[in-house]
Chains A and B, each alone.
Chain A
Amino acid sequence: MAASNKITRKLAMTAVAWLVALVIAFPALWLILTSFKSETEAISRVPHLFFTPTLTNYAAVQQQASYLHFAANSVIVSVGSTLFALLFAIPSAYTMAFAPTKSTRSTLLWMLSTKMMPPVGALVPVYLIFRDLSLLDTRTGLLLVDALANLPILIWMLYTFFKEVPREVLEAGRMDGAGPLRELWNLLLPLSLPGIVSTSLLAIILAWNEAFWSLTLTAAKAAPLTAFIASFSSPEGLFYAKLSAASTMAIAPILILGWLSQKQLVRGLTFGAVK
C-alpha cells in the first residue's frame, strides 16, 4: 500500500514539475519552433503547432553576410575579454589565495564592490572617454569594458577555486625544488584547471549576453549579436521566422554553455553567499 502511494506521489510530482517547466520554457521553445516555420505560419494569428519544418530561414540568415559579421564580433569580444581579464585575474587570485595578508580580505571585498554599481552610472564618462580615444564602435573598446566589468567575478571565483588546492601539495612542490613559475605551471594550473575552465565559461556567457555596453558603445562595425538583434525592434522589416532563426542561432551556444556551467553560476554570481 505504502509503495503504490509513493509511486502515485512521484507521478504527481513529475506531472506538476514538468507542467511548470514547460510553461516556463514555453516562450523559448516557441521561439525555436517558429524558426522552422514559414513566414506566413509564423505570423499567423492562430498558432500552428503542427507544420512542415523548413530550414530556409537558417539558410537565409547565414547567407546574410552581416549576420556572420556580428556573430564574429560576439565571439571575439566574449572570448577576448575573458582571456584578457584572466591575465589580470589569475595572478590576483593566486596572491590572495596563497600569500594572504591582513589587507587581503578588505581588498577582495573592495574588488567585489566595484561590480555593485549599475553600468549606467559610468555611461557618460566611458562614452566621452571612448569618443576622445576613438574607441567608440570598436571591438577593442567593448572588449576592454567587458573585461573590467567581469574582472571582480573572475577574481572571486578563481580565488575560491585556488583555495581548494591543498596548501601542503604546493609546499611539497617547494620542498622538491619548484620555484614560483614551476609551482604555477606544474601544480596549481593542472589542479585548478576545472575551476579555471568553468570560471572562463561563466565569463564568456556574461560577456556574450551583455546588453548595456553593446547597445550604447557600438554601431555597425563592432556590434555583437545583442545589438544586432535589437536593431529589429522597430516594426518595419519584421520577418518573424527569420528573426527567430537568427535569435535561435544567437542564443544556442550560450544555452549549451550555460547548461554545462550551472553550478559555477551559483558560485560566481552569489559570491559564495549561497553554497
Chain B
Amino acid sequence: MSRQRASRWLNTPAIVALFLWSIIPLVMTVWFTFRRYNLMEPDRVGFDGLANYRYLLSDPTLFQAVFNTVVLVGAVLAITIGLGTLLAILFDQEFFGRGIARVLVLAPFFIMPTVSALLWKNMMMHPDNGFLAFVFRSIGLKPIDWFAVAPLTSIIIIVSWQWLPFAFLTLLTAVQSLDSERKEAARMDGAGPIAMFRYIIWPHLGRAIAATTMIESIFLLGIFAEIYVTTSGGPGFASTNLSFLIYRYALMEYDIGGASVAALVAVVLANLLALFLMRSFARNLDT
C-alpha cells in the first residue's frame, strides 16, 4: 500500500531521537571509564587504561552502594507489593465512600519526591518536632533520630510510602479484572475467603505481581531525590545507593572517570532487569 510506504518515515524522528538518547550517553560513558578526567582539573586529561576500574572495583564504597541499592529495592518491593496486594483485595470489596478512600490511598504517589522527603524529614521523622517522635513519647519510648540511627531504613520507609499506591493501583486493576463469573462459580462450589484467595485470586494476580515487581524495580534503581534531600547518602555511605554514588563522584568529587565506571555497573544491573521485563512484554504484545 502506498499509504504504508509513505508513512514509514513518520516513525523516523522518534527512532532517531531515542537512538541518540540511548547510544550517545552509553558510548561516552564507556569512553570516560578509560580516561582520567576531573572537572576541577580540566587540563589534566588523558588515557588512563583500566586504572578507574581497578580503583573503583577495589573500593568498598562501590560495593556498599550496590548492596544498599539491592537492599533498598528489595525492601521497597516486599513492602509495597505485600501491602499493595492486601489493599487491593480490601478495596475490591464494596464499602461506603470507596471512591474517596481510594483517592487518599493514591495521594502519596503524586507528591513530588522532594516534598515527600522533606515532609517525612521535618514533620514525621524529626526527633523533636516530628509526629513519630510525639507518638513514641506518648507511649513512653524515647524518640529515634531516624536519619542518624537508621538512615537506609528511613529512606526505605519514605520510598515505600511513595510507591505503595502504584502497586496498589496495578494490583487492584488486576483483581478487578478477575472475571466475576469465576468468583461466583467458586462460591457456588463452596469456597470461603481463604480458599478463594488461594485458588482463584492468587494465581490470577501472579502475572500482575510479576509485572509490577519488574517495573517498580526499574524505577527504584534510580532513587535519588529522597537521598539527596535527607541524608546525602550518610552517615558515611550508609544510605548511599548506586544513583547517589554516581552523582557524588561526578558532581561532588568531580571524578568523571570514577563516576563512569559506577554508571556502567548501574547500566549492567538495569539491563539484566530489562531483559526479563522485555520477555514478558513481548508476550503481551502478542495477545
Taking beta carbons and an 8 Å cutoff, which residues of A are in contact with B?
Answer: 10, 13-14, 16-18, 20-22, 24-25, 27-28, 30-31, 34, 43-47, 87-89, 91-92, 94-96, 98-99, 101, 105, 107-129, 148, 151-152, 155, 180, 205, 208-209, 211-212, 215-216, 225-227, 229-230, 232-233, 238, 240, 243-244, 247, 250-251, 254-255, 257-259, 262-263, 265-266, 269-275
Contact = CB atoms under 8 A, between A and B. Distances in A.
B267 A121 contact: yes
Contact of A24 (B28, B164, B221, B277): B164
Given A258-B110, A274-B173, A247 B118 contact: yes
Contacts of A92: 10-11, 13-15
B200 to A, nearest CB: 17
Given A99-B1, A243-B122, A272-B284, A262 B28 contact: no
A120 B242 contact: yes
A226 B1 contact: no
Given A120-B222, A265-B169, A274-B208, A112 B281 contact: yes
B191 interface: no
18 contacts: A20-B105, A27-B119, A45-B128, A46-B134, A91-B10, A99-B3, A108-B285, A109-B282, A115-B218, A118-B266, A120-B246, A121-B25, A122-B263, A123-B247, A155-B14, A251-B112, A273-B280, A274-B208
A215 B250 contact: no
Nearest to A89: B14
B25 A125 contact: yes
Interface string B186-213: 0000000000000000000001100110
Contacts of B156: none
A180 B9 CA distance: 13
B108 to A, nearest CB: 6
Contacts of B109: 258
Nearest to B224: A212
Given A116-B274, A125-B24, A230 B14 contact: no
Contacts of B164: 24
A233 B229 contact: yes
Contacts of B110: 205, 209, 251, 254-255, 257-258
Contacts of B133: 45
Contact of A118 (B117, B170, B229, B270): B270
Given A31-B119, A121-B266, A124-B259, A254 B112 contact: yes
Contacts of B207: 273-274
A14 B161 CA distance: 22
A270 B113 contact: no
Interface in B72-126: 87, 90-91, 93-98, 101-124
Contact of B274 (A31, A113, A122, A273): A113
Contact of A14 (B95, B123, B228): B95
Given A120-B247, A270-B211, 19 more contacts: A17-B95, A21-B105, A28-B119, A45-B128, A91-B10, A95-B11, A111-B15, A114-B21, A116-B274, A116-B277, A118-B266, A119-B224, A123-B263, A124-B32, A148-B17, A209-B111, A211-B114, A269-B215, A272-B285
B180 interface: no
Contacts of B139: none
Contacts of B51: none
Given A46-B134, A274-B208, A28 B96 contact: no
By DSSP majority rule, is chain B's interface helix, strand, loop, or mixed?
Answer: helix
A250 B174 CA distance: 32
B105 A94 contact: no
Contacts of A28: 107-108, 111, 119
Contacts of A258: 106, 109-110
A249 to B, nearest CB: 10
B203 to A, nearest CB: 15
Contact of B112 (A27, A46, A148, A250): A250
B121 A270 contact: no
B163 to A, nearest CB: 11
Contacts of B3: 99, 180
Those 4 A-B pairs whose CB atoms lie nearest each other, nearest first? A118-B222, A211-B225, A273-B211, A258-B110
Given A111-B14, A151-B14, A125 B7 contact: no
B267 A238 contact: no
Given A118-B221, A271-B215, A17 B112 contact: no
Contacts of A17: 90-91, 93, 95, 98, 101
